[in-house]
Amino acid sequence: MMERDMGIWSSLIRSAGKPKFNSAVLLAAGSGKRFSDDTAKQFAVVGGESILVRSAKLFQSSEDVQEIVVVTRETDIPGVRNILNKAGITKVTRIVAGGDTRQESAKIGFDAVNPEADYVAIHDAARCLCTPDMLEAVFESAFVNGAAAAACRNPDTLKRTNGTDLVTETIERENTWRVQTPQIFKADIYRAASYTCAKEHFSATDDCALCEHVGFPVHLVDCGPMNLKITYPEDTVIAEGILAYRERAAAEGAKSGKESAT
């Protein structure tokens, strides 16, 4: 991490009251080669809806989000627009073509949001099981701290290898997390971090790392392991199981509420 003047960052956090306009950047530009050679991952169906629509509905229903910018492959733009229109997603202001890397796609999406946006939420469309409660919790942390991300505590022992299968190091499990999305930032902070990292040719696989690189602290919000990222075909089976579990839990909760009221 590079040392920076924290006074500069602190001044960027300060704002009067709750933000009035926030944007969401929905990343759906990956090639999806690990998922399928035939079907773009964002069009795969989970629980009767495409992954893309499920993620878009998360932000459509959020009172904290006023616009959605979708980043996808250029060839998929017409299909994405059609799917979202049919699903009644009205907050989409732009659908733009992504770059060669996730970092490039996120920056392209950020550059397309309303310049007056107070905060920006960057989310992988493949995390289509994120709930409104998770999103709200990450927003609340970001409003206080300037930068926050969904995550879950890591239960596994981690090993580092030499690039093949030879273990070179065991990483202490304590205080390790699996970082997820959404990752939410005050827009001025993300703008400064992303442009600084681009100028310094710093590459990262998530947006938190951009802030970390310039010395701005990121706070994690424990959203648990069910905020799954669909990466492989078998992940859709796990996702269906999570949706079924949530449906049963909701039904049992409703039943319990009725019984206690009688």
Q: Taking every pair of C-alpha atoms in the chain, what is the biggest distance, in angstroms?
A: 65
Angstrom CA distances, 253 to 47, 219, 227, 258, stand at 21, 31, 21, 9
Residues 6+ apart with CB under 8 A from 179: 149, 150, 151, 206, 208, 220
28/43 Cα distance (integer angstroms)? 10
Q: Kindly state the tokens that stand for 79.
A: 């299909």
Residues 6+ apart with CB under 8 A from 147: 183, 184, 185, 186, 189, 190, 208, 211, 216, 217, 218, 219
- pLDDT band for 53, please (50, 70, 90 cuts): very high
105/98 Cα distance (integer angstroms)? 4
27-40: average pLDDT: 69
150-175: average pLDDT: 94
- Residues 21-33 have pLDDT tens digits of 999 999 999 765 6
pLDDT of residue 163: 87
Q: Long-range contacts: 134-138, Cβ < 8 Å, 24+?
A: 134/182, 134/221, 134/223, 134/227, 135/58, 135/59, 135/62, 135/64, 135/182, 136/62, 136/64, 137/221, 137/223, 138/182, 138/183, 138/184, 138/221, 138/223
pLDDT of residue 77: 96
CATH, domain range 6-150+177-255: 3.90.550.10
40-68: average pLDDT: 95
Classify residue 180 as exposed, middle or buried by CB count within 10 Å of its CB (0-12, 13-18, 19+). buried
Residue 185 three-state SS: strand
Q: How do the domains of the chain map onto residue ranges? A: 6-150+177-255
Question: Using the 8-state DSSP alphabet, how is residue 119 labeled?
Answer: E
- pLDDT band for 42, please (50, 70, 90 cuts): confident
pLDDT surpassing 60 at residue 98: yes
pLDDT of residue 95: 98
71-96: average pLDDT: 97
